[in-house]
Amino acid sequence: MSRPTTSVLFVCLGNICRSPLGEGIFVALAEERGLDGDFHVDSAGTAGYHSGEPPDSRSTAVAAANGVHLTGYARQVTPRDMERFDVIVAMDRSNQRSLQRLRQRYGRGRGGLADIVMMRDYDPDARDADVPDPYYGGHDGFERVYRILERSCRGLLDELAGPGRD
């Protein structure tokens, strides 16, 4: 008997740095544990600045250096995503507020809307609620964000799948 699929959407501002990294890391970790068929994973941005563009080359480089492959192209989160996904993971408080406003406008009188959670809620080393945006920085910022997302995605996967489930 197959287990139900859980759908997870990672969201940042432009969907070229943090959320594609979160998506790629989560998929890689699920594959490592033999759980890749248990999840449908995607990413989006609260703004459409980069719609249609691939992930930032610095995100792609730090992912590749860690054995993670990034796929997809930037897109803006839609009201339909509130129904399509079980969990929507915000990278920072600004993204969370935007998602909550979208959900409130779209969700009046409707059931089955996604849970909106913060990425760093699953980071055992979190000292701040936000995953910093590395866009205007250098390689070190992307490396730091990768480590934050790796820890956080492990925690999220444990939460969604259970720590010992393989």
115 annotated active-site:
no
- Of 48, 12, 21, nearest to 146 (Cα)? 21
C-beta of residue 28 within 8 angstroms of C-beta of residue 95: no
What pLDDT does residue 105 have? 82
**Is 133 annotated as catalytic?**
yes
Burial 96-114 (b: 16+ CB within 10 A, else e): bebbeebbeeebeeeeebb
* Catalytic residue of the set 120, 133, 151, 154: 133
pLDDT by position in tens, the chain (length 166): 456 799 999 999 999 999 999 999 999 999 999 998 999 999 999 999 999 999 999 999 999 999 999 999 999 999 999 989 999 999 999 999 999 999 888 765 555 579 999 999 999 999 999 999 999 999 999 999 999 999 999 999 999 997 655 5
pLDDT at 113: 79
Is residue 83 packed enough to be buried (19+ CB in 10 Å), middle (13-18) or exposed (0-12)? Answer: middle
Q: Among the options 17, 18, 92, 151, which is catalytic?
A: 18
Please list the alpha-helical segments (H only) found in 8-128: 18-32, 57-65, 81-84, 93-107
Positive or negative, the Cα torsion across 78, 83, 84, 85? positive
- Residue 1: the pLDDT is 45
Structure-block tokens of residue 122: 């699953």
The confidence score (pLDDT) of residue 162 equals 75
* Catalytic-residue membership of 18: yes
Of 3.40.50.800, 3.40.50.2300, 3.40.50.300, 3.30.559.10, which CATH number belongs to 6-161? 3.40.50.2300
Give the pLDDT confidence score for residue 104 in this predicted structure: 85
